[in-house]
Structure 1
Amino acid sequence: MSYCTFTNSLKPGEQTVHKIYHDNHYGFPIESDDELFCRLILEINQAGLSWTTILNKQENFRKAYHNFNIKKVAAYKEKDIERLLNDGGIIRNKLKVNAAIENAKAILLIQKESGSFKNWLAHHHPKTKDEWMKLFKQTFKFTGGEIVNEFLMSTGYLPGAHDESCVVYKKVLKTKPMWKNLSKK
């Protein structure tokens, strides 16, 4: 079986956690707003670090951020920020913690206006990578170009998550047939 070049280049200790993510999550659509928020927060926390680090800590993030419940995270107070900054199981970066809280608040507004975060993303689809980046910069905190690109690729809004020769590529296309024409952009 053929896999993405990146997956094939991983060290033996990294392969298991990446393979699970690659085969079952990367590039596939996400239906739940809380899970979309989760992916955004994980991508933000990856900035400056390896994705392996984030994948190895993802369950710790899930516990620390109340299973990425948007309403709960949006209501975090100073004691919650302190709790997160003292949690050795996650990335303890004040800018990233504050971004999670502010982005949860932004998503609550999006939900009020669009019905859901997913609807908001779908409403703006398709956009070019540059258009998405501009929109995210206007809407969210700590969302640089690479974060936005990876978030959108990993959730199926931008093509490029898998090499066309990868066995998972066709599985992803089946879940998002309208993306087929975008794979060349």
Structure 2
Amino acid sequence: MSGYCDVAPGHPLHGPYHDHEYGFPQRDERVLFERLLLEINQAGLSWETMLKKREGFRRAYEGFDVDRVAAYAEADRQRLLADPGIIRNRLKIEAAIHNAQVIQRLRDSHGGFAAWLDAHHPLDKAGWVKLFRHTFRFTGGEITGEFLMSLGYLPGAHRPDCPVQARIAPLSPPWMAAAG
């Protein structure tokens, strides 16, 4: 997504995300869940819309607390469907709840979401997409690819000459570690 390196710097929403989050490796379960939830909700919309609604998502999904979201019942589904601060799409809401439950199970099977990602790395994009479709809901090729690129599991978040890429390199994102 080298074009992002051209348009994001200096933009009030895209700039901070590009400069401090996009492509940076992450281990924290809440951060991983947030990124997955935002990527799923971005389907059919712009990333700028997601960045504008990010705080609304944070409030609606209780700080992306996996255990709380996994326990959501019908009243929570109705609350989310009525919340103008998020994307009110029943399939995406159901995917968030289901995927939180999957992440809970990944704690038992692999020690957590990050450990599950590490256990399957390196895969090419097609392998990741197949794995995500088998494991999670609402995770097609674009969603899976962007999720993994945004966390450093797949290359392409930044151009090689982007100054942010130079800041990410010492963090040894998984795609660089596998290539090196």
TM-score for the superposition, normalised by structure 2: 0.94
Q: Deviations over 1:11-31 (max 9, x none)?
A: 98xx11100000000000112
Structure 1 pair 109/122, CA: closer, same or farther in 2 (3 Å)?
A: same
- Measured on the aligned residues, the alpha-carbon RMSD in Å equals 1.8
Q: 2:46 matched to 1:50?
A: yes
CA displacement at 1:173 relative to structure 2: 1.4
- Corresponding residue for 2:61? 65
Q: Are the aligned partners of 2:5 and 2:158 in contact in 1 as well (CA < 8 Å)? A: no
CA distance in 1, matches of 2:38, 2:174: 26
Q: Are the counterparts in 2 of residues 7 and 19 from structure 1 also a CA contact under 8 Å?
A: no
Unaligned runs of 5+ in 2: none
Q: Does structure 1 residue 128 correspond to structure 2 residue 132?
A: no
| Residues 60 and 83 of structure 1: CA distance in aligned 2, closer, same or farther (over 3 Å) | same
Shift of 1:63: 0.5
How far does residue 10 in structure 1 lie from its aligned partner after superposition?
5.7
Whole-angstrom distance in 2 between the partners of 1:85 and 1:177: 36
Sequence identity, in percent?
50
Give the length in aligned residue pairs: 179
Q: What TM-score results when the alignment is normalised by the length of structure 1? A: 0.91
Instruction: Give the corresponding residue for 2:138.
Output: 142
Map residues 9-88 of structure 1 onto 2, 5 A cutoff. 9=7, 15-88=11-84
Gaps of 5+ in 1: none
What amino acid maps onto 1:24 in structure 2?
H
Alpha-carbon distance change, 10 to 166 in structure 1, aligned in 2, over 3 angstroms: closer
Change (3 A) 1:5 1:66: same
SS in 2 for 1:49: coil
